[in-house]
Chains A and B, each alone.
Chain A
Amino acid sequence: MARGATVHGIPDDRHRVVDEAQLRDLIPGVLGVLVHRGADFATAEDAVQEALIRAIERWGTSSGESPDDPKGWLITTAWRRFIDLTRSDVARHAREQRVWNEPPQGPTESVDDTLELYFLCAHPSLTSASAVALTLRAVGGLTTRQIARAYLVPETTMAQRISRAKRTVSDVRLDRRGDPRTVMRTLYLVFNEGYGGDPEVADLASEAIRLARRLATSTDDPEVAGLLALFLLHHARRPARTRTDGSLVTLADQDRGLWRRDLIAEGVAVLQAALACDQLGEYQAQAAIAALHADARTAEETDWGQIVEWYDELVALTGSPVVQLNRAVAVGEANGPRAGLAALAELDPTLPRYTASAAYLHERTGDVDTAATLYAEAAAQAHSVAERNHLTLRAATLRQQRRT
């Protein structure tokens, strides 16, 4: 628990946030119990959210006392709220009468309930934006406002997105196992958003790790472990990845002393256990590459030969042109920039970051003029401000070297 708490800590109000993160860990279970008792998903989710907000209000202050059994309290409060919500609707929804007339059973929750909730929130009938929003709310326990702020959309827009998503999945019968791949993809999207986003606004990367951790305890799929390892290993580098002004620091230039060794150790352990299952998948292969970077004490020590081998595995697993592009850059490090350029020449030049990669490899060959021109061209094509600024700076630096 202690480790989870530090990952979640937000500097200004640490104790409160720790409580909130712990509370939110209980949410899937509480929701699972309500649904288990026959509550419809959409209303139950509303009820659990309201119970959570009440709990945070009541226990979040320093004077507030949390009960001995927070989960029991949440279940009771959410169930009462659910009955209220259902009653007020009962004239229109006679079928729900059946539900609240049934005597509530005792709290029963299983690993499967949590897993089913993940599947439901990432159901293939949802768009990825909706799956992400619903997962963060129903599984993560974030409020609509927090999710809206994280994705920089109006709260009303996010509220609509979530309520539509709930309507879409409310008729889904979970009589057979969902596809873990859709869940992993959803968590990957959350993590990616948090990777570049402002952690002061919403720490989506930590949230994705928390959710992946939970998921990993509910299933023995080695790809889920691979995904968790990937998150941990990337997250470990976060303190070194940006300067105080928000600008990007490339992997080679990062101060490796800032890397979180605790997260690296955990990520490597999780990955090793996953690889031992001998069912390789793309997340495990990506995590293996991240682990090789984490393993190098200096950029020069990086085992690029092994990284290229893992990229070969990844290409075989995914066939993704984006992976092939990253592989070409790795080949450039392992076998020299000309080998990298040769690998690059076989790929589609309209791929995102193709020009930036070509610029880097030309710079390594010593062709400063070509590199500067390509960096400038890549900056004009960039799709993030941090990336554009970095590439512009490279072009300017090389041109200045030329003049002096």
Chain B
Amino acid sequence: MGKRPTRVANLKGVILVAKYLLLKHYRGAPASVNDVPMDQWTPEEIEAHIQYMQDFADRLKDSGEYVDSQALAADGAWVRSDGDGKPPVTDGPFAETKDLIAGFMIIDVDSYERAVELAGELSSAPGAAGEPIHEWLEVRPFMGSPTTVTE
């Protein structure tokens, strides 16, 4: 899927240390390989999944690559300003929204390759029948700082 994003590089083309967002979607991503909804798993399978996620985060904390991770509740709403002096307008939640973000992890790694490697590991979390889910995760680089060579 897609081509490798270009990254801010220094003179030698060395990719600078950068943060990446690993984005997990409830909806909107292509179907997982092991595509069974979580509510149909056994309790043991759910526990194994949660444990895997915990261990994964712990490993990144230990390697000094962890920044943050959060899960998001599903009941989002759309909000917009309705002009000065008026309260903001809210709408939703929309059941039909195509894209729904489930959560994210932020990592601080040495290379794009390392970010992809970690996303691959995260995608292998066990699901139904204890088999890896192999779900699609979105990997997005953070904006960085302008470098000397850009001047």
User: Is the CB of B8 closer than 8 A to any CB of chain A?
Assistant: yes
List 6 A-B pairs, Cβ < 8 Å: A129-B17, A161-B64, A185-B14, A195-B147, A321-B13, A387-B146
Chain A residues in 8 Å Cβ range of B64: 129-130, 133, 157-162, 164
Q: How far is the CB of A316 from chain B (nearest CB, A)?
A: 14
The answer to whether A323 and B11 touch across the interface, beta carbons within 8 angstroms, is yes
Tell me if A322 and B9 are in contact (CB < 8 A): yes
- Cβ contacts A378-404/B at 8 Å (1 or 0 each): 000111111110000000000000000
- The proximity string for A residues 128-167 relative to B, scoring 1 for CB distances below 8 Å and 0 otherwise, is 1110110000000000000000011110111111101000
- The binding surface of chain B is classed by DSSP as loop
**Inside 8 A of B145's CB, which chain A residues have their CB?**
192-193, 195-197, 384, 386
Given A286-B11, A388-B143, A157 and B148 touching (CB < 8 A)?
A: no
- What is the CA–CA distance of A154 and B65 in the complex, to the nearest angstrom? 10
**CB–CB A384/B9 < 8 A:** no
Cα A159 to Cα B68 with chains together (Å):
15
Q: Which of A31-39, A51-59, A301-309, A346-354 contacts B (4 or more CB under 8 A)?
A: A346-354
Say yes or no: B150 contacts A192, CB within 8 Å. Answer: no
Whether A156 pairs with B17 at a CB distance below 8 angstroms is no
A318 CB-CB contact with B under 8 Å:
yes
Q: B66 to nearest A CB, angstroms? A: 5
Residue A77 at the B interface, CB < 8 A? no
Shortest CB distance A112–B (Å): 28
Bound CA span A116–B71, Å:
46
Q: Residue of A at shortest CB range from B62? A: A160
Assess whether B11 is in contact with A320, with CB atoms less than 8 Å apart: yes
Q: When the two chains form their complex, are residues A250 and B7 in contact, meaning their CB atoms are under 8 A apart?
A: no
Cα–Cα distance between A102 and B68 once the two chains are bound (Å)? 46
Given contacts A157-B65, A158-B64, A160-B64, contact A127 B110 (CB under 8 A): yes
Cβ-based interface call for B10 (8 A): yes
CB of B149 closer than 8 Å to a CB of A: yes
* Cβ B61 vs Cβ A157 within 8 A: yes
Q: Known interface pairs A128-B110, A129-B108, A157-B108. Does A318 touch B147 (Cβ–Cβ under 8 Å)? A: no
| Bound-state Cα–Cα, A10 to B150, Å | 27
In whole angstroms, what is the CA distance A178 to B149 when docked? 27
The 6 tightest CB contacts between A and B, nearest first, are A196-B145, A161-B64, A160-B64, A383-B8, A129-B17, A127-B110
A320 touches B13 (CB 8 A): yes
Write out, one digit per residue, whether chain A residues 337-358 have a CB within 8 A of any chain B CB (1) or not (0): 0000000000000111100000
Contact at A157–B67, with CB atoms within 8 Å? yes
Q: Cβ of B6: which chain A residues have Cβ within 8 Å of it?
A: 350-352, 381, 383
A interface residues, tally (CB under 8 Å): 53
> Contact: A153 with B150, CB < 8 Å?
no
Binding site for A on B (CB under 8 A): 6-14, 16-17, 19, 61-68, 108-110, 141, 143-151
User: Given A129-B108, A157-B67, A160-B64, A352–B146 Cβ distance below 8 Å?
Assistant: no
| Cβ A192 vs Cβ B61 within 8 A | no
Q: A157-B61, A157-B65 are in contact. Are A192 and B148 (CB under 8 A)?
A: yes
Seed contacts A157-B67, A159-B64, A320-B11; 4 additional CB < 8 Å A-B pairs: A132-B17, A152-B19, A384-B8, A388-B143
What are the residues of chain B within 8 A of A195 when measuring CB–CB?
Answer: 145-148
Contact with A188, one of B10, B65, B110 (Cβ below 8 angstroms)? B10
- Cα distance A102–B141 when bound, in Å? 52
The residue from B13, B16, B141, B146 contacting A386, defined by CB atoms under 8 A apart: B146
A351 contacts across to B, CB distance below 8 A: 6
- A76 at interface by CB-CB < 8 Å: no
| Given A153-B67, A351-B6: A320 touches B147 (CB 8 Å cut-off) | no
What chain B residues lie within 8 Å of A159 (beta carbons)? 64
The verdict on A248 contacting chain B, using a C-beta distance below 8 Å, is: yes
A200 to chain B, nearest CB (A): 14
A164 touches which one: B11, B13, B63, B141 (CB < 8 A)? B63
Chain A residues closer than 8 Å to B13, beta-carbon distance: 320-322
Contact B63 A160 (CB under 8 A): yes
Do B141 and A383 touch across chains, with their CB atoms under 8 A apart? yes
Expressed in whole angstroms, the minimum distance between the Cβ of B24 and any Cβ of chain A is 21
* A164, closest chain B residue (CB): B64
> Mask for A173-202, Cβ within 8 A of B = 1, else 0?
000000000000100110111011100000
The reply to whether the CB of A370 lies closer than 8 angstroms to some CB of chain B is: no
Question: Which of B16, B19, B109 has most chain A Cβ within 10 Å?
Answer: B16
List residues of chain B with CB within 8 A of the CB of A387: 146, 150
CA distance A234 to B17 in the complex (A): 21
In contact, A157 and B11 (Cβ under 8 angstroms)? no
Distance in angstroms from A387 CB to nearest chain B CB is: 5
Q: Name the residue of chain B whose CB is nearest to the CB of A156.
A: B61
Which A residue sits closest to B8, measured CB to CB?
A383
What is the CA–CA distance of A386 and B151 in the complex, to the nearest angstrom? 12
- Please name all residues of chain A whose beta carbon is closer than 8 Å to the beta carbon of B68 when the two chains form the complex: 154
* A192 touching B110, Cβ below 8 Å: no
A196–B14 touching, CB < 8 Å: no
Nearest chain B CB to A393 CB, angstrom units: 14
Closest chain B CB from A261 CB (angstroms): 19
- Select A191's contact among B9, B12, B148, beta carbons within 8 Å: B148
